[in-house]
Amino acid sequence: MLKTAAFATLLWISLPAAAFEAGVMDARIQELVEQHLATTLEFRHFVHQHPELGNREHETAKRVASHLESLGMEVRTGIAHTGVVGILRGGKPGPIIAVRADMDALPVTEDTDLAFKSTVRTTYNGQDVGVMHACGHDVHTAVQYGVASILSALASEIPGTILFIFQPAEEGPPEGEEGGADLMVREGVFDDPRPEAVFGLHTLSGMPVGDVGITSGPALAAVDHFRATVKGTQTHGAAPHLGVDPIVMASQAVMAFQTIVARSIDPLEPAVVTVGMFHSGQRFNIIPAEVALEGTVRTYAPEVRDLVERRMAEILDGVTRAGGGSYSLDYERGTPATINDPELTAQMTPSLSTVVGDDRVQHLPPTMGGEDFAYFANEVPGFFFRLGIHKEGSVIGPHHSPTFRADDGSVPVGMRVMSGVLIDYLIANQK
């Protein structure tokens, strides 16, 4: 049981950092950030203004691949539909590592005053929707685009090899399709060459530009998706005794689901059970035949995941038996928990501090949000940190909202920090 998950921010204190000098190439990296910033921001603006949903990142992938090829990298395309990988081989022997950025946008209509705001619309699940980078993936992609430029310029001095992974569908593939990090791993993205560590970053709404955030150990939760149907017998709303009311049974089940976290799980184990959709009925005076429920479960420990699924089935069975109805439950295991390797986190923390300063490295608690970087970090040790994007005085909405916005000032910070992390790791661990 991950009973220490709530206290994971303390783990880094007890782990000694590796004996190496962080930031040995920071001055040169900073010069290259300034040299490549204008073209990187131009790319960021294009990606933000032309967002693409998961498994549909065709133009973004095309531009990424063209850029990596122009830098002289070996480029692989079409991984997990639209994924791109660039391989940078350094001029000296050393470790093989990977760095990942996600490229997909969300079905959200943008409501910001950015000069490069998105006005794109498309069809998603049969509905006409706006498309927006409402989670900062345009920043992730742009930062890695810039890091590729910087490290290519330093390639002759780099001891090792870097896989630049540009991933589609982090937010999930379209209905009926596969995608994301899971599919990239299954299609062999780590097979040849195989990295010994993987790195990534994610924007954080509300965190100031210039700050970065780290969490050692459990960082982001496992994400499961459930669909349940509660079945009754349709009848006139004025004669409920002649039918079996699925709305009453489903309502009881929704309330009882909340007791799973409150009464079935150890209080020190983080878990969330949320019913996000409750659909039923066609007319005000008809008791319908069934109710459709849909929602998400967030956990860290595999045994808690098992317990939640079992208790949901038991609750639905008990409630519908008592009410005279029946049920079906489809519980889909999704992205596993993202666990930052504690030793790797401790080793790389000085690299972040060298760039932004000790006072601007925030030690963050675990979150119940999910991130499919977990599939990469389950293969090899991973380090995933947060990037501040909030410009002082600006109004910024939460992730996945129409008013979410990331300031351009976060891009050079991300370029410099991630470049430093990658080079520091390669130098410290060269064979």
Say if residue 190 is in the same domain as residue 203. Answer: yes
Say if residue 282 is in the same domain as residue 214. Answer: no
Straight-line distance from the first to the last Cα atom of the chain, in angstroms, rounded to the nearest whole number: 36
Are 382 and 344 within 8 A, CB to CB?
yes
Of all residues in the chain, what percent carry a pLDDT higher than 90?
92
Res 193: pLDDT: 97
Q: Supply the mean pLDDT for the chain.
A: 94
Quote the domain boundaries for residue 395.
Answer: 5-221+337-428
Q: Considering 280, 308, 332, which residue would you say is the last residue of a domain? A: 332
74 belongs to the catalytic site: no
Among the listed residues 57, 138, 170, 371, the single catalytic one is 170
Give yes or no for residue 151 having a pLDDT over 60: yes
Q: Considering 271, 303, 332, which residue would you say is the last residue of a domain? A: 332
pLDDT in tens, 410-426: 999 999 999 999 999 99
Among the listed residues 57, 102, 104, 171, the single catalytic one is 104
pLDDT in tens, 49-90: 999 999 999 999 999 999 999 999 999 999 999 999 999 999
104 belongs to the catalytic site: yes
Say if residue 178 is in the same domain as residue 327. Answer: no
Give yes or no for residue 374 having a pLDDT over 60: yes
Res 4: pLDDT: 39
pLDDT in tens, 213-226: 999 999 999 999 99
Q: Considering 332, 361, 383, which residue would you say is the last residue of a domain? A: 332
Say if residue 177 is in the same domain as residue 228. Answer: no
Res 20: pLDDT: 64
pLDDT in tens, 173-203: 998 999 999 999 999 999 999 999 999 999 9
Say if residue 140 is in the same domain as residue 230. Answer: no
Of all residues in the chain, what percent carry a pLDDT higher than 70?
95
Say if residue 244 is in the same domain as residue 288. Answer: yes
Say if residue 91 is in the same domain as residue 183. Answer: yes
Give yes or no for residue 158 having a pLDDT over 70: yes
Say if residue 217 is in the same domain as residue 153. Answer: yes
Say if residue 282 is in the same domain as residue 208. Answer: no
More confident residue, 325 or 11: 325
Res 396: pLDDT: 87
Q: How many domains does the chain have?
A: 2
Q: What is the CATH number of the domain that holds 14?
A: 3.40.630.10
Q: What is the CATH number of the domain that holds 291?
A: 3.30.70.360
Say if residue 343 is in the same domain as residue 209. Answer: yes
Q: How confident is the model at residue 13 (pLDDT cuts 50, 70, 90)?
A: very low
Say if residue 157 is in the same domain as residue 235. Answer: no
Res 22: pLDDT: 86
- Rounded average pLDDT over 104-119: 97
Give yes or no for residue 121 having a pLDDT over 70: yes
Q: How confident is the model at residue 5 (pLDDT cuts 50, 70, 90)?
A: very low
- Rounded average pLDDT over 141-153: 98
Q: Which of 191-195, 284-288, 389-393, 421-425 shows the lowest per-residue confidence on average (mean pLDDT)?
A: 389-393
Sign of the C-alpha dihedral computed for residues 20, 26, 27 and 28 taken in this order: positive
User: Which candidate, 194, 167, 192, 163, places its Cα nearest to that of 86?
Assistant: 163
Say if residue 203 is in the same domain as residue 305. Answer: no
Res 393: pLDDT: 86
Give yes or no for residue 210 having a pLDDT over 70: yes
- Rounded average pLDDT over 242-256: 98
Res 248: pLDDT: 98
Round to whole Å and give the CA distance between 4 and 143. Answer: 33
pLDDT in tens, 308-345: 999 999 999 999 999 999 999 999 999 999 999 999 99
Give yes or no for residue 2 having a pLDDT over 80: no
